[in-house]
Amino acid sequence: MFTVEQINVAHSNVKSGADFPSYIQEIKSLGVTHYETYVTDGHTDYHGGSDYTATVPPTYEPLEIANAPKTEKFKAELLAHQQGKTDYLTFIKMCADYGIEKWEICMDKMTCTYYDKAGNKILVEEIPQ
């Protein structure tokens, strides 16, 4: 099964949203089936077969997540990030400001789903392959 160290090595190659699809392919090859990243502190739960979970601990000081999502602004800034115009921490701060609490990646469906604090789906995107 995969380790937190393997995940961290793969993640270290992500410099912007433009690097995300190759990162997904790499961790999928390690056996990750899905994962959730929490904007509040950056911790991520990576899941594999047989109920295996590896948790990457918080990576930055806690952020406050806005109560009400700003969906259209979020979508515009997400697109800029995916085009490589912002780095990861800029993206994270934008998510917090625009009410995104977490995102979940599903390897089987190759989707990324963003959620607000109430657990509502804000956006579901297909991950390029």
Question: pLDDT digit string (tens) for 85-108?
Answer: 888 899 999 999 999 999 999 999
| Structural domains of the chain sorted by starting position, each given as residue range(s) with its CATH number in brackets | 4-126 (3.30.1810.10)
Question: Mean pLDDT throughout 113-119?
Answer: 97
Output the pLDDT for position 34.
Answer: 97
pLDDT at residue 88, as a whole number: 83
Contact 13, 4 (CB under 8 A): no
Separation CA 14–CA 71 (nearest Å): 25
Please give the average per-residue pLDDT across 12-29, as a whole number.
84
pLDDT, mean over the chain: 93
Nearest-angstrom CA–CA distance, 96 and 93: 5
Structure tokens at 22: 């190759």
Q: Return the SS3 of 73.
A: helix
CA distance 75 to 101: 15
